[in-house]
Chains A and B, each alone.
Chain A
Amino acid sequence: MLFSLLIAPAAAEAALPPSNPGTPPMSDSPWSLLPAASANAEALDTLYIFFWVLCGIAFVGMIGVQAYFMWKYKKPAHGHAKTSPLTHNGKLEFIWSAIPTFFFVILFAWGEIEYMKQVTPPPDAMDVRVTGQKWSWTIEYPEVKGCSLTNDLYVPVGKPMRLTMTSVDVIHSFYLPAFRLKKDVVPGRYTVLWFEATKPGLYPLMCTEYCGDEHSSMVGRVHVVPQEEYDAVLAKACELKQGDAESAEDFGARVVTRGGCASCHTTDGTVKTGPSFKGLFGKSETLADGSTVTVDENYIRESILEPNAKIVSGFSLQMPSFAGRFDDKQIAALIAYIKAQK
């Protein structure tokens, strides 16, 4: 389900570079499922390897000494051996306090230096606005008028990007494993995340602060594209118009993807946070106050623009309004798509 969520747009958008490594988070490294696609990721991997070598030596050393003592000082078959009267040793205790302290200071300082780079965006960074909501990411590009994407972040290689993020409901966390970055997205304030991608590809974007029912579905895609293709790819991604040869239903499918509708509405009959689209059109539903409503064009349109107006019994208000985000043609296509889910 999530799998299809991730690869479907990739198939739909032929503009992606041919070097697309396939389904995220698959990697070219045999050691990791995780690609390193930013300068920060490469720097952190070095630090991470340093940590593992250090801790590997410490662990093997300690368990080795423990195992040796366990074998060497096993009690004889009968009775007990005389044991050592050793109770302490100041010099030894000083050494084994000082050595970890020394390495802790190195780890701390190294981590602090990399962290300061992570939180200091360069002044020439490109701005992107991110809004978290239950359960999708809205991504807006100020330089492309009216461009509002859902769960798709387009990024050029080698150009710093600065994301200014906020949430409209609860706390979310914006996590880009391929860049080794995350930052909480908090209602009522802005948080900032910046990066510079180094490798074209398609990478996952996930929510890492528990935010309710479909927390697991708050998964999106980061499309890293070469700089020379970026403007065209972004323009195409932002465009949401019915193609000449495209049926209303197919266009509606693209609108559904753009709206991030799939995190709450399935097409296979499974009921998640919202009703499934399967067999929805024409159905008679009971509202919380006991009255009934038929799911027709008007009801669907109203529910998209004013989700709170008529909530079917058994569901709660979780849906954001799409007023201002979808125009009449897009809503019409969306209705055609829902009609087709029989």
Chain B
Amino acid sequence: MSTAVQSQDPHPAVEPNYLVSKRGLMSWLVTVDHKRLGMMYLASVMFFFLIAGILAIALRTELFTPDQDFMSAQTYNQVFTLHGAIMVFLFIIPSVPAALGNFFLPLMLGAKDVAFPRLNLLSFYVYSVAAVFLIVAILTSGLDTGWTFYTPYSTSTGTAVITATAGVFIAGFSSILTGLNFVVTVHKMRAPGMNWNRMPLFVWAIYSTAVIQVLATPVLAITLLLLIIERSLGIGIFDPAMGGDPVLFQHFFWFYSHPAVYIMILPGFGIISEIITVHSRKHIFGYKAIALSSVAIAVISFVVWGHHLFVSGQSELAGVLFSFLTFAVGVPTAIKVFSWVATLYGGSIQYNTAMWYGMAFLWTFTVGGLTGLPLSTLAIDVHLHDTYFVVAHFHYVMVGGTVVAFIGGLHHWWPKMTGRMFNETAGKWGCLLVFIGFNVTFMTQFFLGHQGMPRRYYAYLPEYQVMHQVSTIGSYILALGLLWTLIYLMHSLWKGEKAPSNPWGAVTLEWQTQSPPIEHNFHETPHVHGSPYDFPEIDKSAGGHH
């Protein structure tokens, strides 16, 4: 044990925790406490997850038969657009960084707060304004462009494109401000003794994510601004009818949105690194490889956007280069997965709900990663592009990767955030339902896509019906698992046992203060002397690499 702050609560119950240290609605609305802001983000992203999830169930239900059932074509197109836009911009992108990142980044660094607490509050309100814009877009004339806003369709459709893109534009600023705050926090606020090699891997992941957020999001903002200018002022930038180039929009859009994929998944990697080490009582295997592979992914992610344009008519040379660079991202990703599996070796694995999600992640993310390979392979992508194969692939990465990691992280840190333990048996049932439901829903879609089922069809050839029905039933199981999870977690807030400060015996700093933490996190500034994964169970006498 080499971390200084090991004693449990040197001053138990001297100070009230952050939830009750100040009271009243106003104390929440104007709080600059990163933990309260994290909880407010958590509530917001969960609300949007629920909304977008209900839309997903509506889509799957419409697809139960090949014909049009209960939604008109226009309604279906709006529902899939909103499902995507809400999930991406209001749920997944802020989910791990803004909710769990806000809460745990300063705690894991041994800091009192983020570097700019007021900026953090502003960032939350900017996000809220963005959400209002998107909701107004839904309630006025809807949005039917798909979440990608491809021109010239988005320039010519009659729906609320300007309101919605303005919402996404504003959400981008929230993302930039949060990213900036985190980068500075990691550079300047680390506890004494915490050098870069002693940072928890979750911090490394959030740091890499924050760098991408700061560098890539402005490009999306510019792109959407150009789209708004084209629509409102009639200046031809993307619309060929006005002398523009529609494919240019795709280049701009994916220059942001491909790195955004890593904004979504890198924080999930960080969570998995924490969960697997803590619950197997093992030092992470290949700390440097995992930390640096996050950085490598962040860098390479900026030069792979062209794989979204393999069939757009871009030059063959560009296609070949982007295909090669896309394969290059696969290498650091594979290194991470192998390192997680190797971490299990020689461990003493405790199977609680968080670890169940960790193990489920290794399955779902590996499927998501491997099925990225045929999409990187130029000739195969020509067949699979814009079919259900792509839908299945990115749901395996976004849901099977990010969301599974997010829910796992929520269970891992729930005792710290809320001060309550949830029912482990209920948790495992929830995880099982989510895992089965998810795989039934999306595994089927790989086959559908390979058989030629295109994306974004509300009616389809009857040959595809059986597979669509299996997928729909899977989505109901998945929804049931998620609802069940919501119920027992809410139940634990009132009826759960009080959580000890360090229920899993973890070494990182967030567990070295009481649950829930006090407003200023630590009674005394912690000092760090060693690795964040130096567990007491590790058999030092056995030798090994240090």
Inside 8 A of A23's CB, which chain B residues have their CB?
463
State A178–B451 Cα separation when bound (angstroms): 9
Kindly state whether residue B350 has any CB partner on chain A within 8 Å: yes
Known: A6-B461, A110-B377, A182-B382. A87 touches B452 (CB 8 A): no
Inside 8 A of B331's CB, which chain A residues have their CB?
97, 100-101, 104
Could you tell me the distance in whole angstroms from the C-beta of A91 to the nearest C-beta in chain B?
11
State A169–B240 Cα separation when bound (angstroms): 9
Chain B, residues 334-359, CB within 8 Å of chain A (1/0): the string is 11011101101111111100000001
State A188–B236 Cα separation when bound (angstroms): 13
Could you tell me the distance in whole angstroms from the C-beta of B15 to the nearest C-beta in chain A?
32
Q: Is the CB of A2 within 8 A of B283?
A: no
Q: Is the CB of B73 within 8 A of A112?
A: no
State A183–B310 Cα separation when bound (angstroms): 9
Known: A74-B351, A181-B383. A87 touches B451 (CB 8 A): no
Inside 8 A of A96's CB, which chain B residues have their CB?
334-335, 338
Q: Is the CB of B156 within 8 A of A169?
A: yes
State A25–B71 Cα separation when bound (angstroms): 26
Q: Is the CB of B280 within 8 A of A83?
A: yes
Chain A, residues 262-294, CB within 8 Å of chain B (1/0): the string is 000000001011000000000000000000000
Q: Is the CB of A69 within 8 A of B152?
A: no
Kindly state whether residue B457 has any CB partner on chain A within 8 Å: yes
Kindly state whether residue A208 has any CB partner on chain B within 8 Å: yes
Kindly state whether residue B376 has any CB partner on chain A within 8 Å: yes
Could you tell me the distance in whole angstroms from the C-beta of A144 to the nearest C-beta in chain B?
27
State A97–B292 Cα separation when bound (angstroms): 14
Among A44-52, A250-258, A297-305, the one that faces the other chain is: A44-52
Kindly state whether residue A111 has any CB partner on chain B within 8 Å: yes
Q: Is the CB of A85 within 8 A of B153?
A: no
State A115–B385 Cα separation when bound (angstroms): 14
Inside 8 A of A110's CB, which chain B residues have their CB?
377, 379
Chain B, residues 460-493, CB within 8 Å of chain A (1/0): the string is 1111100000000000000000000000000000
Q: Which of A196-222 contact B (CB under 8 A)?
A: 204, 206-217, 219
Could you tell me the distance in whole angstroms from the C-beta of A210 to the nearest C-beta in chain B?
4
Q: Is the CB of A208 within 8 A of B386?
A: yes
Q: Is the CB of B334 within 8 A of A97?
A: yes
State A14–B190 Cα separation when bound (angstroms): 78
Could you tell me the distance in whole angstroms from the C-beta of A76 to the nearest C-beta in chain B?
7
State A70–B358 Cα separation when bound (angstroms): 12
**Interface secondary structure of A, over-half rule:** mixed
A113's closest neighbor in chain B, by CB?
B379
Kindly state whether residue A235 has any CB partner on chain B within 8 Å: no
Could you tell me the distance in whole angstroms from the C-beta of B509 to the nearest C-beta in chain A?
20
Q: Which of A171, A219, A270 contacts B153 (CB 8 A)?
A: A171
Kindly state whether residue A308 has any CB partner on chain B within 8 Å: no
Among A26-34, A149-157, A238-246, A325-333, the one that faces the other chain is: A26-34
Total number of B residues with any Cβ neighbor in A under 8 Å = 100
Could you tell me the distance in whole angstroms from the C-beta of A307 to the nearest C-beta in chain B?
16
Could you tell me the distance in whole angstroms from the C-beta of A46 to the nearest C-beta in chain B?
11
Inside 8 A of B286's CB, which chain A residues have their CB?
87-88, 93
Q: Is the CB of B73 within 8 A of A108?
A: no
State A209–B310 Cα separation when bound (angstroms): 13
Inside 8 A of A63's CB, which chain B residues have their CB?
362-363, 366
Inside 8 A of A65's CB, which chain B residues have their CB?
341
Q: Is the CB of B386 within 8 A of A209?
A: yes
Chain B, residues 142-162, CB within 8 Å of chain A (1/0): the string is 001010001011001110000
Q: Which of A1, A62, A114, A213 contacts B74 (CB 8 A)?
A: A213
Inside 8 A of B539's CB, which chain A residues have their CB?
82-85
Q: Is the CB of B460 within 8 A of A181?
A: no
Q: Is the CB of B455 within 8 A of A93?
A: no
Kindly state whether residue A313 has any CB partner on chain B within 8 Å: no
Q: Is the CB of B280 within 8 A of A208?
A: no
Kindly state whether residue B23 has any CB partner on chain A within 8 Å: no
Could you tell me the distance in whole angstroms from the C-beta of A218 to the nearest C-beta in chain B?
9
Q: Which of A75, A93, A173, A180 contacts B386 (CB 8 A)?
A: A173
Kindly state whether residue B222 has any CB partner on chain A within 8 Å: no
Q: Is the CB of B380 within 8 A of A111?
A: yes
State A109–B339 Cα separation when bound (angstroms): 27
Q: Is the CB of A2 within 8 A of B460?
A: yes
State A66–B393 Cα separation when bound (angstroms): 22
Q: Is the CB of B451 within 8 A of A177?
A: yes
Q: Which of A171, A173, A181, A216 contacts B458 (CB 8 A)?
A: A216
Kindly state whether residue A19 has any CB partner on chain B within 8 Å: no
Q: Is the CB of B337 within 8 A of A26?
A: no
Known: A104-B327, A108-B327. A219 touches B461 (CB 8 A): yes
Kindly state whether residue A232 has any CB partner on chain B within 8 Å: no
Q: Is the CB of A175 within 8 A of B454?
A: yes
Inside 8 A of B288's CB, which chain A residues have their CB?
88
Q: Is the CB of B462 within 8 A of A86?
A: no
Kindly state whether residue B535 has any CB partner on chain A within 8 Å: yes
Kindly state whether residue B26 has any CB partner on chain A within 8 Å: no
Could you tell me the distance in whole angstroms from the C-beta of B546 to the nearest C-beta in chain A?
6
Kindly state whether residue B112 has any CB partner on chain A within 8 Å: no
State A24–B463 Cα separation when bound (angstroms): 9
Among B171-179, B227-235, B313-321, the one that faces the other chain is: B313-321
Q: Is the CB of A186 within 8 A of B342?
A: no
Could you tell me the distance in whole angstroms from the C-beta of B290 to the nearest C-beta in chain A?
10
State A239–B241 Cα separation when bound (angstroms): 33
Inside 8 A of B463's CB, which chain A residues have their CB?
23, 25-26, 33
A206's closest neighbor in chain B, by CB?
B454
Q: Is the CB of A25 within 8 A of B451?
A: yes
State A83–B537 Cα separation when bound (angstroms): 6
Known: A66-B362, A86-B285. A108 touches B349 (CB 8 A): no
Kindly state whether residue B374 has any CB partner on chain A within 8 Å: yes
Q: Is the CB of A47 within 8 A of B452?
A: no
Q: Is the CB of A182 within 8 A of B540?
A: no
State A182–B280 Cα separation when bound (angstroms): 47
Q: Which of B313, B316, B450 contacts A116 (CB 8 A)?
A: B316
7 extra interchain contacts, Cβ-Cβ under 8 A, other than A25-B451, A83-B537, A219-B461?
Answer: A51-B374, A55-B373, A81-B537, A112-B378, A170-B156, A204-B461, A216-B457
Q: Would you mind naming 12 contact pairs between A and B with Cβ atoms under 8 Å apart?
A: A2-B460, A34-B451, A48-B450, A84-B345, A86-B342, A112-B323, A114-B378, A210-B77, A210-B153, A212-B77, A213-B74, A214-B73
The 5 closest A-B pairs by CB, nearest first: A84-B346, A188-B240, A177-B452, A111-B377, A114-B379
